[in-house]
């Protein structure tokens, strides 16, 4: 097919540039090996380990700062004083009272790191980890790099976030290697767990409210607290760029608030540099696996409570495989900002007065955040099961074991040539690898009569079609959370494949449409579209799936399986977005509020399913996909938000949504489902209420 004329330019430079840059990007060559830290724990006393001498090196040899001293520095800072006076003038309250308020906020927020608590956790976690996991693997070279970085400049640890376990695990590892323990930004919701909250606080967590939009004082205390720790290098700061645990195991688009805070001291010249260390934590099996699927389907997240935690004890009896923790190369903010941000623009404004970051800075921070998340993705360790899950999801009716094995081997080759960080057991026969993966994930897939298929939970008693749908969706979403782990490896070539197979003839334009459409669902660095397109071309050419004679992109014969696999990989997303478009065009009423949107889409889909019976895109039931689709439509101006009274209403531009649906929907089966198939007299809400009678709380149906 012809490439669009604008893409010609790229093709000219293509051969020279891309191969060079991608070779550099190729992380295969640079990845470190792993050490299992549990091995030693299995062979020596945990108590001794918990009580051993712990004397980490600190930033330029500072002495660790007592929590109280830290609070005093913050309360006496010019920054805070300025805001206190400002708030006092605005509210008419005396500055003393505001100061007192600030002090209370700080009290609620601040960590109280105590080595004794850390030792307790070191002991308890050793026991727990040994029961839960086969291995906890860490790249020791990364640890060495981190140790070096901690001494040179303030360090910010940025782990991926897939489980509650993440931050305990991080502190556990740093303690094990005698590194300075981080202070960790945690959501306030933990504080609900009375005792545990305090324990976490004493192991280095500090707590921030989930939302404090307009609260100047809160923001000032919070940002000054973080900056003080950073400037003085008392401890590495740790937070999750993704903001929350990813329920889908896809990386979430980064949140910028905290990153802005930790980068600002560099721009203001208060520190020479800040080292950002991406950490990739990969779980072979996630503790919260089915919990997440239910949550995505609208069963609300259980409130964090100590009793809930105790109930979760039963998980202790299961095998969760191994964990891989990869400490990435420290990223110097100074080097990143070189030539992108002119620091002298900070010269004309007093540094203690809070100010909205300039546009230049904002886009730099945004860009940095995306890059870090991509670095996290790059070093995520993938297990064979991830590949198997991807294949199973494209064959929901099940697969012959032998076929699955064969295809898994094929996919392994593809993944490796795309530089996936695959942890494939050495010297084990493939059949063994496949069967042991199936054994570990027996809750998700089973083999019966030589066929492998997804396990669907069977509730007791008679099953309504709606319940069946729900159970089916749980198992698909659980499985999808594994497939999602490999998406970042295949995403770019897969979008190109979809563009080639389904969409109109301007391949680059189609690619860029998909790129834009999916930029909430996947980590696509803003502005990297051309680079991503080049990467996609490079990878597909590399594996022989396409050829690029002159200015064309042509599929090869041997490329057929690859391209159709890629197509299948993205199919659920394309379908899901399409369902949303359909809903908005055909069903959405005037005055649809943002709150009603998710349950309404769910009902719509359920109705469709009930009436047609052969729909397969269960993933559209996931609130994650629904939110991302809406965000994409908002971004593309197909939907607008209007605030009426307290409600946010969605105004749908049906023309625009329809045309997006058209682009997505060519050749797709969902396009010939007609509105007429649903009887007009039937109220959707009634149907929905009927559908979600059991097991689901009705609150979000309204």
Partner 1 sequence: GAPLLLNCGRRPPTADSATAADKTNPRGKHCLWLCFRVLSSCLEIFVLCPPLTSDSISTVLAAATITMTLTSTVCFPRQEIMKWNGWGYSDSKFLFNKKGQAEFTGKRYRLSGMVLPSLQDWFENTFGASVNHKSPPALNASAVPPASLNEAFVEDLKATGIPFSHEAEDRVFRAHGHCLHEIFALREGKKFERVPDMVVWPNCHNDVVKIVELACKHNVCLIPYGGGTSVTSALECPPEETRCIVSLDTSQMNRILWIDEKNLVAHVEAGIIGQDLERLLNESGYCTGHEPDSMEFSSLGGWVATRASGMKKNVYGNIEDLVIHIKVVTPRGVIEKSCQGPRMSTGPDIHHFILGSEGTLGVVTEVTMKIRPIPEYQKYGSVVFPNFEAGVACLREVAKQRCAPASIRLMDNEQFQFGHALKPQVSSIFTNFVEGLKKFYITKFKGFDPHQLVVATLLFEGDRERVLQHEKQVYDIAATFGGLAAGEDNGQRGYILTFVIAYLRDLGMDYYVVAESFETSVPWDRVLDLCRNVKERINRECKERGVQFQPLTSCRVTQTYDAGACVYFYFAFNYRGLADPVHTYERVEHAAREEILANGGSLSHHHGVGKLRKEWMKESISSLGVGMLQSVKDYVDPDNIFGNRNLL
8-state DSSP, 358 = P
| Alpha carbon distance 295, 648 (integer Å) | 23
Q: Which residues lie near partner 1 (CB under 8 A)?
A: 268-270, 272, 342-344, 346-347, 350-351
Give the nearest distance from C-beta 658 to partner 1 in angstroms: 50
Task: For residue 584, give both structure tokens.
Answer: 């908005």
Q: How far is CA 129 from CA 159, 174, 437, 487, 530, in A?
A: 19, 15, 20, 28, 44
Pick 76 or 614: Cβ nearer partner 1 = 76
CB of 78 to partner 1, least distance (A): 9
Contact 305, 194 (CB under 8 A): no
Closest CB 57 distance from partner 1, rounded Å: 18
Please name the residues in contact with 185: beta carbons below 8 A apart, sequence gap of 6 or more.
Answer: 205, 206, 208, 226, 237, 238, 239, 240, 258
Cβ 264 to partner 1, closest distance in Å?
Answer: 13
- Quick one: 112 or 352, whose CB is closer to partner 1? 352
Is the Cβ of residue 130 or residue 352 nearer to partner 1 in the bound state? 352
User: What six digits make up the tokens of 533?
Assistant: 């397109």
Nearer to partner 1, 130 or 268 (CB): 268
In whole angstroms, how close is the CB of 66 to partner 1 at the nearest point? 20
Choice between 39 and 270, CB closer to partner 1: 270
For partner 1, give the closer residue by CB, 90 or 270: 270
**Looking at residue 442, what DSSP letter applies?**
T
Minimal distance, residue 332 CB to partner 1, in Å? 10
Bridge partners (DSSP) listed for residue 446: 453
Q: Which is nearer to partner 1, 269 or 300 (CB)?
A: 269
Tokens describing residue 32: 């470190």
Calculate Rg over the CA atoms of the chain: 26
User: Using alpha carbons only, what angle is made at residue 97 by residues 92 and 98, rounded to the nearest 5 degrees?
Assistant: 75
Q: Which is nearer to partner 1, 270 or 594 (CB)?
A: 270
Where do the DSSP E strands lie in 341-418?
Answer: 399-400
Nearer to partner 1 among residue 203 and residue 228 (C-beta): 228
Nearer to partner 1 among residue 12 and residue 272 (C-beta): 272
DSSP secondary structure, 508-533, as one string = HHHHHHHHHHTTTTS---TT-HHHHH
CA distance 430 to 205: 43
In this complex, which beta carbon is closest to partner 1, that of residue 271 or of residue 546?
271
Both tokens of 334, joined, read 């100074």
Burial of 307 (0-12, 13-18, 19+ CB in 10 A): exposed
d(CA 433, CA 36): 20
Q: What is the DSSP string of 648-684?
A: EEEEE-HHHHHHHHHHHHTT-GGGG--GGGS-TT--H
Q: What is the H or E stretch that residue 401 is in?
A: helix 401-417
> Within 10 A of 34 (CB to CB), how many other CB atoms are there?
20
Smallest distance from partner 1 to CB 55, Å: 21
Task: Tell the smallest beta-carbon distance from residue 327 to partner 1 (Å).
Answer: 23
At closest approach, how far in Å is the CB of 350 from partner 1?
8
Rounded to a whole number of angstroms, the minimum distance from the CB of residue 270 to partner 1 is 6
Question: DSSP string of 195-222?
Answer: HHHHHHHHTTEEEE-S--TT-HHHHHHH
Shortest distance in whole angstroms from residue 164 CB to partner 1? 39
Beta carbon nearer to partner 1, 351 or 627: 351
Largest CA distance in the chain: 78
In the complex, least distance from residue 342 CB atom to partner 1, rounded to whole angstroms: 8
Rounded distance between C-alpha atoms, residue 4 and residue 501, angstroms: 16
Q: And the tokens for 301? A: 């997240």
């Amino acid at each position: 097919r012809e490439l669009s004329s604008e893409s010609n330019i790229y093709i000219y430079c293509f051969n020279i540039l891309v191969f060079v840059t991608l070779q550099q990007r190729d992380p295969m060559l640079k990845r470190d090996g792993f050490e299992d830290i549990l091995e030693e724990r299995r062979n020596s006393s945990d108590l001794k380990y918990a009580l051993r001498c712990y004397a980490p090196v600190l930033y330029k040899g500072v002495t660790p700062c007592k929590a109280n001293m830290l609070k005093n520095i913050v309360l006496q800072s010019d920054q805070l004083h300025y805001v206190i006076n400002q708030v006092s003038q605005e509210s008419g309250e005396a500055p003393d009272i505001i100061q007192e308020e600030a002090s209370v906020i700080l009290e609620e927020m601040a960590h109280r790191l105590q080595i004794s608590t850390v030792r307790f956790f070191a002991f308890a976690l050793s026991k727990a980890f040994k029961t839960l996991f086969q291995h906890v693997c860490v790249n020791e070279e990364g640890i060495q790099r981190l140790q070096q970085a901690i001494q040179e400049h303030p360090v910010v640890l940025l782990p991926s976030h897939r489980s509650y376990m993440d931050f305990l695990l991080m502190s556990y590892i740093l303690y094990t290697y005698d590194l300075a323990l981080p202070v960790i930004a945690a959501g306030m919701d933990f504080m609900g767990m009375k005792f545990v909250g305090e324990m976490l606080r004493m192991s280095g967590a500090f707590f921030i409210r989930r939302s404090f939009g307009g609260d100047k004082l809160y923001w000032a205390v919070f940002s000054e607290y973080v900056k003080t720790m950073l400037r003085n290098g008392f401890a590495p700061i740790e937070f999750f760029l993704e903001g929350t645990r990813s329920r889908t195991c896809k990386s979430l688009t980064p949140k910028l608030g905290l990153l802005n805070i930790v980068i600002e001291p560099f721009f203001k010249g208060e520190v020479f540099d800040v080292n950002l260390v991406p950490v990739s934590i990969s779980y072979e099996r996630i503790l919260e696996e089915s919990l997440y699927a239910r949550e995505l389907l609208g069963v609300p997240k259980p409130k964090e409570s100590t009793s809930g935690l105790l109930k979760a004890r039963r998980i202790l009896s299961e095998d969760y495989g191994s964990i891989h923790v990869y400490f990435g190369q420290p990223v110097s903010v100074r080097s990143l900002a070189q030539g992108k941000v002119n620091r002298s623009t900070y010269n004309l404004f007093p540094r203690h007065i809070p100010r909205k970051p300039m546009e230049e800075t904002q886009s730099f921070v945004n860009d940095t955040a995306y890059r870090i998340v991509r670095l996290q993705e790059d070093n995520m360790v993938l297990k064979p099961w991830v590949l198997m899950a991807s294949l199973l999801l494209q064959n929901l009716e099940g697969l012959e074991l032998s076929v699955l094995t064969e295809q898994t081997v094929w996919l392994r080759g593809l993944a490796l040539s795309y530089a996936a960080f695959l942890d494939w057991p050495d010297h084990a026969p493939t059949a063994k690898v496949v069967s042991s993966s199936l054994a570990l994930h027996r809750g998700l897939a089973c083999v019966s009569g030589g066929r492998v298929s997804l396990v669907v939970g069977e509730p007791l008693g008679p099953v309504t079609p709606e319940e069946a749908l729900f159970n089916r969706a749980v198992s698909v979403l659980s499985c999808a959370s594994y497939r999602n782990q490999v998406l970042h490896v295949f995403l770019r070539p897969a979008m190109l494949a979809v563009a080639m197979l389904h969409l109109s003839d301007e391949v680059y334009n189609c690619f860029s449409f998909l790129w834009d459409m999916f930029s909430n669902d996947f980590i696509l660095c803003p502005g990297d579209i051309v680079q991503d397109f080049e990467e996609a071309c490079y990878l597909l050419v590399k594996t022989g799936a396409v050829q690029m004679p002159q200015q064309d992109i042509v599929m090869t014969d041997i490329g057929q399986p690859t391209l159709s696999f890629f197509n299948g990989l993205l199919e659920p997303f394309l379908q899901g977005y399409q369902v949303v478009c359909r809903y908005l065009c055909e069903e959405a009423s005037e005055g649809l509020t943002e709150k009603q949107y998710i349950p309404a889409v769910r009902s719509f889909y359920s109705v469709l399913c009930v009436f047609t019976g052969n729909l397969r895109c269960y993933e559209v039931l996931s609130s994650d996909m629904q939110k991302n689709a809406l965000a994409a439509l908002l971004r593309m101006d197909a939907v607008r938000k209007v605030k009426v009274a307290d409600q946010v209403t969605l105004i749908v531009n049906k023309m625009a949504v329809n045309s997006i649906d058209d682009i997505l929907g060519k050749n797709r089966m969902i396009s010939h489902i007609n509105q007429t198939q649903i009887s007009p007299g039937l109220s959707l809400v009634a149907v929905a209420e009927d559908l979600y009678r059991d097991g689901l709380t009705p609150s979000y149906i309204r």
